[in-house]
Structure formats: structure tokens, C-alpha cells
Amino acid sequence: QFQELQESAQMLMELNNALRNGTMPELASILLTWRERLPNVWEELPAWNDLVSWRNHMFSHINNVLARVADANNSSLPSLGYQQMLWTIVRFAHVARRQQLPEACVSIIAKIQSVNTGSGPHSDLGNSFAKLREQ
């Protein structure tokens, strides 16, 4: 948890600098680390839920900052936060299914509907396929 908090603080500093300078933040290494560092598949869902909730909060903040930077530069930045959020939710649903909890899996997948409404064309085909597979 401490490592997660430390990386979140580093991300917030990167986002703050990007907003101030109007540049794209350098988040790729932290986001890759977050994809690779997940609880074990056999760990209980509350542990997963805590982690996913915190990360989704951070992904929402990333989306907000990227939208402001894109508006300032009159450019379209990729919705990096949405893509990471979708991947994380699908992975969480996968773990629920692997733990023989189909109701929890369907409930988790239902959260994707609210995420997709904000992501527009940026949600990729791989996430859509993974969502369908988990359903």
C-alpha cells in the first residue's frame, strides 16, 4: 500500500507539471508497473476491490488532467486513464470469475458501462472483447 501511495504521489506531481507546462505527462512506467503488480488471483475480492477503487480514482484524475492539457493545446490526447481503468476492471472481473463468483463478475462488468460513456471512441477493441468474454 505504501508503494502504491508513493507512485500515486509521483503521478500527481507529473500531472501537475504537465498541466502547468501544457505537456503530456510521463506516466508510462508507473502505469506499466501497476499492470504488472496486482494481488494474487486467489486473494479475496475485498483486497482486489480496495486496489481497483484507488487506481480507478487515480485514472479518473489522469483523464481530467489530460482533457485540460488537450483543451489548452487544441489537440486530442489519448484517453490513457480510461484505457487503464477498463483493463483493470476487466481483470478484476476475471479474478471474480476464476474464484467461482459469477454474480460478482457480472456486477463488476456492469461498472464498465459507466466508464464507457465517458471514454467515447478511445476504448479499444481488446477491452471490449475481454468484457464480453468475462460476461
Q: Please provide residue 17's backbone torsions phi and psi, each rounded to the nearest 5 degrees.
A: -65, -40
Radius of gyration of the chain (CA): 15
Mean pLDDT score, 11-19: 91
Residues 6+ apart with CB under 8 A from 65: 15, 18, 19, 25
What's the rounded Cα separation, in Å, for the pair 68 and 87?
Answer: 23
Q: What is the mean pLDDT of the chain?
A: 82
Confidence at residue 129, expressed as pLDDT on a 0 to 100 scale: 58
Q: pLDDT tens, 39-64?
A: 999 999 999 999 999 999 999 898 88
Confidence at residue 19, expressed as pLDDT on a 0 to 100 scale: 86
Nearest to 79 by CA among 67, 89, 90, 68: 67
Residues 6+ apart with CB under 8 A from 56: 85, 88, 89
Burial class (CB in 10 A: 0-12, 13-18, 19+), 75: exposed
Confidence at residue 25, expressed as pLDDT on a 0 to 100 scale: 84
Higher pLDDT, 93 or 75: 93
Residue with cell 489519448: 78
